[in-house]
Structure 1
Amino acid sequence: MSVNMSYRENVKLALQSIVSNKLRTFLTALIIAIGITALIGVLTSIDAIQSSLTNSFSSMGSNSFNIRNRGLNVRIGDQGSQPKVYPAITYRQAMGFKDQFNFDAIVSINANVTWNSTIKYKSEKTNPNIGVIGADDNYLQTSGYKIESGRNFSKQDVENGSAVVIIGKEVTTRLFKKKENPVGQYITVGDSRFLIIGVLESKGSSAGFGADKACFVPISKARMMMENGNPSYSITVMSPDPLKMDAAEGEAVLIFRKLRGLNAKQSSNFEIIKSDAVAQILMQNLRYVTLGAIIIAAITLLGASIGLMNIMLVSVTERTREIGVRKAIGATPGVIRKQFLMEAIVICLIGGLAGIILGITIGNLLALGLGASFIIPWKWMLLGMTVCVLVGMVSGYYPASKASKLDPVDALRYE
């Protein structure tokens, strides 16, 4: 009980001292709040970015992988390296894989026709930045696209090379400004006329890498439109069971190596890329942002702790007579030490609480901008409060120790 009363009395005295020195307390708490805001704000923002990336890439077909003739070209600043480029995957190889892959999975084939096409509808036309992608009837499912209106390609559309097209949301917005139903209308893609059979739901430019600015045509029709005489096709494999992904990948590698004519001694001349590979690369690079935030916050908090220590030393000098009186009526050095330590910790907690509130607010504003849900970073809040207590203890220990060692007689005679 006496220990609890001692702490309660120390907190009370600390608050009284803080109230009597409002300006000094405010300035010190402000510096601490800035440091904690930097730390909590950036860490909360990173959580928001990771959540947004996870949601975005899971919508691209989370249980899938691609077989391509080159790796991903994702560079963050000077980080990363140029991907290897292997011989093109031919249409015969892609179709051979689709026929031979008997694993419990969905296989689709696609190829890029162009990324600078102009789409026209009557007097309306888009900028020359629309992608045209050749795809089969499984592609939308394996890539995480959803039909908003209309229908997907049928097997007959793909086999016959029908002049039908499925358009992205931004293409719809650009061409059909009068809100008429695009399905059943004819548009011109390059020099060819196509019937719109479907409109895709929006995936967003960041999540779908410009998917809203794309048109999808049957893969057999796309072959007639390609200017490149040696295009490379991509194969997507989607497993309904995430636990069977590794087995599906192993089976795919064996079949495709055989189709590429590779023997046991030759290394694979193609890339297996999982659907969340880009997200993983970006998340790995977020650790540099985290490290930078911690360094900035540490420097700010170091300055705050020095300022707090200086204020506490001044406080010890100003309250020398008070310390002498307390010692004269029986206060032990330990009680005096606890009083000044508690005062430093309380100041840090006030600043830290303000910093946590500001940091969470800033972090969640970014989260809302990214379309992520509101985040309450409990672990970062706990970290922030722990840091505040540590800063208070470190910066307050020397002044508290100095106060506890004052001679009561000398303290009482101090003017």
Structure 2
Amino acid sequence: MSVNMSYRENIKLALQSIVSNRLRTFLTALIIAIGIMALIGVLTSIDAIQSSLTNSFSSMGSNSFNIRNRGVNVRIGDSGSQAKIFPSITYQDALDFKRNFDFNAVVSLSANVTWGATAKYQTTKTNPNIGVVGADENYIQTSGYKLADGRNLTAQDVENATGVVIIGQEVKNKLFKYNKNPIGEFISLGGERFTVVGLLESKGSSAGFGADKACFIPLSRGRAMMTRADPSYVITVMTTDPFKMDAAEGEAIATFRKIRTLNAKQSNDFEIIKSDAVAQILMQNLTYITAGAIVIAFITLLGASIGLMNIMLVSVTERTREIGVRKAIGATPTVIRKQFLMEAVVICVLGGVAGVVLGMLIGNLLALALGADFIVPWKWMLLGISVCVGVGMLSGYYPASKASRLDPVEALRYE
């Protein structure tokens, strides 16, 4: 036997030892696989969530922002702060802004009429959870919605308070069975009659804005249906050039401060909210989830490494005579150490590969549920395999050193 044994021979000996102790190897690799599966699964799931959020919020238009009387309030657990609430943006404020905003951008006005309406078509009706939004002719464009059929609201519809409505896919599916075309049909909302003139493309469950179960009516008609005494309107600005977002935002602030008659010393009494603000807040919170997942996975791997070290120590004891024979025919302590280290690393890599595959499948099941693309987390896969090699080296070093220090004479006499 050559003293300078190659790595290939070391791997061959490691595999022979693993095959001869199948149950022990399986249980050890299983512990490693569970830890890596938890790590890769959670990290892949988080990538899927981020991809879904990006797709959902980018559909709103990365080059748009809203002017509201309150900020975005997304709280996860006890984190986050309460959004400030400013005086309502009146209909006159909104109209003045649309008339006076001097920038190459599209401006739309809207207001939530209700999120508890019941839509009815003939004898079929929905649950009382339909959103009704009063909107102008630009709202569909600035909000990133697309029409699947029919037409958009027009300036004449808004000016004349026409009884027309654009409905979401879920409303259509509830009211119009057997693929009946809803365009031109009459439905009632809040006891008032509307003609369906448009059907939105589905936004999917990941969008989070309830567009699929919403109805959009002319803003002037929506104002007449509002029951609140002091409703607040939303102004949406969409620039034609994404690189001019900052300039548009600055001009919008100056224009609306003038409408609000604020002097130089007074702070803004309104909020500028970019279309991806909610996504950014959610993604920031995902970093804490990622950190927690990594900590839990590494704790699992720590337990697995302790188990592997114990098994390797048992293996050294069981193979004492074998070590003695190898030393007697010329194997150096370095060769013995490499063999046992290689054995520990191979067990970890086998478990790691299984964990990576299972974790990737679990993460992509969530991606499929969220409507995101199939994700191959190369960086997490490389991290998982690297961690496995590291765990194998750390947990195998002491048993390997112990084996390399055995006295060959005492080892040969060991029973």
Quick check: TM above 0.5?
yes
Q: Distance in 1 between matches of 2:88 and 2:241?
A: 30
Secondary structure class of the residue paired with 2:261: coil
Residue 190 (structure 1) shift = 0.9
Q: Distance in 2 between matches of 1:192 and 1:376?
A: 51
Aligned residue-pair number: 414
Paired letter, 1:177: K
Paired letter, 1:239: T
Residue 240 (structure 1) shift = 2.3
Q: Is the Cα contact below 8 Å between 2:111 and 2:134 reproduced in 1?
A: yes
Root-mean-square deviation over aligned CA pairs: 1.3
Residue 359 (structure 1) shift = 0.5
Secondary structure class of the residue paired with 2:108: strand
The residue that corresponds to 2:273 in the other structure is: 273
The residue that corresponds to 1:7 in the other structure is: 7
Q: Is the Cα contact below 8 Å between 1:205 and 1:211 reproduced in 2?
A: no
Residue 320 (structure 1) shift = 1.1
Residue 43 (structure 1) shift = 0.5
Identity %: 76
2:12 maps to 1:37: no
The residue that corresponds to 1:73 in the other structure is: 73
Residue 221 (structure 1) shift = 1.4
The residue that corresponds to 2:351 in the other structure is: 351
Q: Is the Cα contact below 8 Å between 2:4 and 2:335 reproduced in 1?
A: no
Q: Distance in 2 between matches of 1:319 and 1:353?
A: 27
Q: When the two structures are superposed, what TM-score results if normalisation uses the length of structure 1?
A: 0.97
Q: Is the Cα contact below 8 Å between 1:60 and 1:208 reproduced in 2?
A: no
- Measured against aligned partners, the alpha-carbon deviations of 1:327-382 in whole angstroms (never above 9, x if no partner) come to 12211111111111000000000110111111011111111011111111100110
Deviation larger for 120-129 or 333-342: 120-129
Q: Distance in 2 between matches of 1:381 and 1:77?
A: 31
The residue that corresponds to 1:406 in the other structure is: 406
Gaps of 5+ in 2: none
The residue that corresponds to 2:362 in the other structure is: 362
Q: Is the Cα contact below 8 Å between 1:6 and 1:335 reproduced in 2?
A: no
Q: Distance in 2 between matches of 1:404 and 1:4?
A: 15
Residue 288 (structure 1) shift = 2.1
The residue that corresponds to 2:155 in the other structure is: 155
Q: Is the Cα contact below 8 Å between 2:48 and 2:366 reproduced in 1?
A: yes
The residue that corresponds to 1:173 in the other structure is: 173
The residue that corresponds to 1:197 in the other structure is: 197
Q: Distance in 2 between matches of 1:330 and 1:3?
A: 6
Secondary structure class of the residue paired with 1:207: coil
Q: Is the Cα contact below 8 Å between 2:165 and 2:215 reproduced in 1?
A: yes
Q: Distance in 2 between matches of 1:345 and 1:178?
A: 60
The residue that corresponds to 2:119 in the other structure is: 119
- Measured against aligned partners, the alpha-carbon deviations of 1:210-264 in whole angstroms (never above 9, x if no partner) come to 1111111111111111111211000001112211111111111111111111111
Q: Distance in 1 between matches of 2:167 and 2:4?
A: 70
Q: Is the Cα contact below 8 Å between 1:63 and 1:245 reproduced in 2?
A: yes
Residue 208 (structure 1) shift = 4.4
Secondary structure class of the residue paired with 1:379: helix
Q: Distance in 1 between matches of 2:407 and 2:371?
A: 62
Q: Distance in 2 between matches of 1:81 and 1:26?
A: 49
Paired letter, 2:186: Y
Secondary structure class of the residue paired with 1:206: coil
Deviation larger for 375-384 or 170-179: 170-179
4+ residue runs over 4 A deviation = 2-5
Gaps of 5+ in 1: none
Q: 1:3 to 1:277 in 2, by over 3 A?
A: farther
